[in-house]
Amino acid sequence: MVKKHSRAKKTIETVLVYILLVVITLITIYPIVQIFGISLRPANELYSTSLRIIPENASFKAYREVLFEKDFFTWLRNSVIVALAVSIFGVTLASNAGYAFSRLRFRGRKTGMISILVTQMFPATMLLLPLYILMSKFHLVDTLFGIIIAYTATALPFCIWTMKGYYDTIPVDLEEAAMIDGTTRFGAFVKVTLPLSAPALVITALFSFMAGWSEFIVARVIINRQGLYTLPLGLESLSSTFQTEWANYAAGSVIVCIPVVVLFLLLSRFLISGLTLGGVKG
């Protein structure tokens, strides 16, 4: 009796959990689907309030227009440069800084960790003015390098904490074994610690990439020249004072999403737990 009762209870629980998950998924997916729907609308249906996902007379015209009649590939190139640079800087700096915070005991270690965290408490908008002044003093206004630095600085705190946290889970003994086996501390870091940190490196890389890929406000302030527009700036330029081509806008947004989605899918196989399993007695 007891068993039957608990089994029924379990079924109800499972059903409830699934209902909750479905609802959350719908809420998450709906805007994206809506944007996709809008991107397919012909011009005469732009302001339609219909909830149909695939509109009547659906066409890919907007995609063609965005891709070939705007400076889309310039924006894409700029965004790729920025996002890749931010990823490279982010991963390189964070993997090293995180290592220092995790493994070495030095004066100011705690204070350093905390200060890095504190920088995250300020909203980016608040930092716009000082950031602009700094950039202008260093002659970095209207350069991609300028926003690369700004984005890297924004992404680093999260990345450093992530890396530090992950290194903390890797036994120091592994590095010591490598050092005794005949390499330096740096060698042990590169040959043993880094390969084992793949999941954290992937998270760090993705986070940095996203920071560079989709940021708008800082770019808006620092970049003025159209030739240096990144994708978010380019998209925004599609809206004008008198008329906004919503279909183009939506089509652009969908295209912008694709590389990130692909990147996630490619890298997700590294996001596995248990890499260090078996190395030491748990």
Partner 1 sequence: MASVEFRDVDKIYPGDIRAASDINLTVEDRELLVLVGPSGCGKSTVLRMVAGLEEATSGCIFFDGINVTDLPPKDRDIAMVFQNYALYPHMNVYDNMAFGLKLRKHPKEEIGELVLDTARILGIEQLLERKPKALSGGQRQRVALGRAIVRKPSVFLFDEPLSNLDAKMRVQMRTEIRRLNLDIQTTMIYVTHDQVEAMTLGDRLAVMDEGTIQQVGTPIELYNRPVNRFVGEFIGSPAMNFFEGKLSGTGETPVFKASFTSFPVPERFRSSPGSLVGRTLTLGVRPEDLYISVPDGNEGGFHHTEVVIDVSETLGNEMIFHVDAGGHRMVVREDPDVNGSYGDRVRLSIDLDRIHFFDGGTGASLLAG
Q: Rule CB under 8 A: which residues touch partner 1?
A: 105, 171, 173-174, 176-184, 187, 191-192, 195-196, 274-281
Question: Which one, 261 or 277, has the nearer CB to partner 1?
Answer: 277
Residue with tokens 């302030």: 221
In angstroms, give the least distance from the CB of 195 to partner 1: 5
Tokens representing 181 are: 């086996």
The phi and psi torsions of 99 (rounded to 5 degrees) equal -60, -45
Give the C-alpha distances (Å, rounded to integers) separating 116 from 126, 161, 165: 17, 9, 14
In angstroms, give the least distance from the CB of 281 to partner 1: 4
In angstroms, give the least distance from the CB of 194 to partner 1: 10
Rounded Cα–Cα distance for residues 151 and 217 (Å): 11
Question: Which one, 130 or 282, has the nearer CB to partner 1?
Answer: 282
Q: Helix, strand, coil: what percent of the chain each, to 5? A: 75, 0, 25
In angstroms, give the least distance from the CB of 191 to partner 1: 8
H-helix or E-strand spanning residue 2: helix 2-39
Give the C-alpha distances (Å, rounded to integers) separating 192 from 24, 62, 104, 139: 40, 50, 17, 41
Question: Which one, 255 or 267, has the nearer CB to partner 1?
Answer: 267
Question: Which one, 265 or 277, has the nearer CB to partner 1?
Answer: 277
Question: Which one, 107 or 137, has the nearer CB to partner 1?
Answer: 107
Question: Which one, 138 or 186, has the nearer CB to partner 1?
Answer: 186
Give the C-alpha distances (Å, rounded to integers) separating 229 from 6, 148, 165, 221, 253: 60, 13, 36, 11, 15
In angstroms, give the least distance from the CB of 282 to partner 1: 8
In angstroms, give the least distance from the CB of 116 to partner 1: 24
- 154, 144, 160: which is closest to 93 by C-alpha? 160
